Structure 1
């Protein structure tokens, strides 16, 4: 009986060791709209900060997005190299830049849409693929800027279009956050959308009220994360199998 038990136990261990590890990491790189926020600036919240809440235990979301970074400065500061060093085959990389690439007065961040911005996105895609990861390109989320007609006005120039062109050229999955969040904010309207962005009263950190039409508060960040994941489901991207369906 003891020998039979040992044999069965050995077979179980053998098959257990051969079982493939289903866990993987979704690396997110981008700017302040995606970044993790310190407690002192609450309720400001990046949508990448809450993304991990919507996945099961197979997925770890490693959010490398940082306030104020562009596709250029993120690379130049060595932050992309840190991400590359941690990527394993089977991982994913979500790439969302644009807000700070537009800052033409700042040579450390500015890129041209169909020039250096495009080149940087292509570099991120190629190097992620070389590490065995799957890159996903995202256009920047909209700023909350309503015109006299009660509809959002575009603020990102040619940058979203440049992302779309890179995605098409390189056969990269595209989550068009500029279009998706534009529809979302337009449907909410001028007044209700303030609750998604940083239109908040005085806090200890900010004694004056904030009327910030770029950054999100908690509810807005969660809504943007859900918008991205619903689009990923429509495209049947590989990681959607590990989304907590009841959370969306």
Structure 2
């Protein structure tokens, strides 16, 4: 499914205060901000709304981008110029075969090399990288089981994270487990943008659910960073 371009949140200026830590989000449309004209947003949109006063989140994720094209278009350089303290990196959906040579990366080779380079360059710029495995697509087989086309990319993230000693948020495995507990019909009702049967992107309300998953995992992997976020009660009640 072709990822559509998304409009990022308006908060895109460099971190103005030396006392505030800055997180920069890098990724595709499952991460990015609210769509201009429809009920659609990535999990980064919700995450930005839950920060405390001592941290800022800038979302540079853009729909349709892969670990290859985000760099080739100069977007990674722009993210580094923001001088972040932390960089969340999630790719995979558009690295898959069939997305075209300007985006594709094989999970066991090029994709891993791209992640390694992102990590190295983030560190060179004084930022702490955090890898995020790609959130699972909501595609079910006839027998009702969830199909998992992104597993090789998720496994590569885990391998590179261990190899280069960086934290990783296993959003793929977490989302797989959550979605396996519901039906295809329920997944459309709870997660798809209004009026669609989209099995990749999220409605605004679903963006909050997935951002909640990210924070659940962050509380385990990087608890000192998770403490900078406060989820509203109505979101907590959905757990």
Q: TM-score, normalised by structure 2?
A: 0.86
Label 1:246 to 1:157 Cα distance change in 2 as closer, same or farther (>3 A): closer
Other structure's SS at 1:214 match:
coil
Aligned length: 218
SS for the counterpart of 1:193 is helix
Partners of 2:143 and 2:165 lie apart in 1 by 37
The structural deviation recorded for 1:151 is: 2.1
Between 51-60 and 221-230, report the one with greater CA deviation: 51-60
List structure 1 segments (4+ residues) > 6 angstroms apart after TM superposition.
none
Q: Once the 2 structures are TM-superposed, how far is the Cα of residue 159 of structure 1 from its aligned partner?
A: 1.0
Equivalent residue, structure 2, for 1:68 = 64
The TM-score with structure 1 as length reference comes to 0.83
Structure 2 residue corresponding to 1:214, chosen from 176, 183, 200: 200
* Aligned positions of 1:100-111 closer than 5 A: 100-104=94-98, 106-111=100-105
Contact 1:196 1:218 in 2 (8 A): no
Encode CA deviations 1:212-238: one digit per residue, 9 max, x unaligned: 101000111101001011111022443
2:21 is matched with which residue: 24, 33, 37? 24
- Secondary structure, in 3 states, of the residue corresponding to 1:242? coil
Cα distance in 2 between the residues matched to 1:238 and 1:79: 28
Maintained 8 Å contact 2:34/2:204: no
- For residues 232 and 97 of structure 2, the distance between their equivalents in structure 1, rounded to whole angstroms, comes to 40
Partner SS state of residue 37, structure 1? coil
Alignment match, 2:11? none
Match of 1:50 in 2: 46
Equivalents in 2 of 1:134, 1:243: separation in Å?
18
Instruction: Report the Cα offset of residue 190 of structure 1.
Output: 2.3
Structure-2 separation of matches of 1:54 and 1:215: 21
Which stretch of the first structure deviates more once superposed, 106-115 or 68-77? 106-115
Counterpart CA distance in 1 for 2:208 and 2:99 is: 32
More helix by share: 1
1:200 and 1:43 mapped to 2: Cα distance?
A: 6
Q: 1:239 aligns with which of 220, 225, 230?
A: 225
Tell whether the 8 Å contact from 2:92 to 2:134 is kept in structure 1 after alignment.
Answer: yes
Greater fraction of residues in strand: 1
Distance 2:221 2:114 in 1: 25
Look at both structures and tell me which one has the larger radius of gyration over its CA atoms: 1
Displacement of 1:164: 0.7
Whether 1:183 and 2:183 are equivalent positions in the alignment is: no
Gaps of 5+ in 2: 1-16
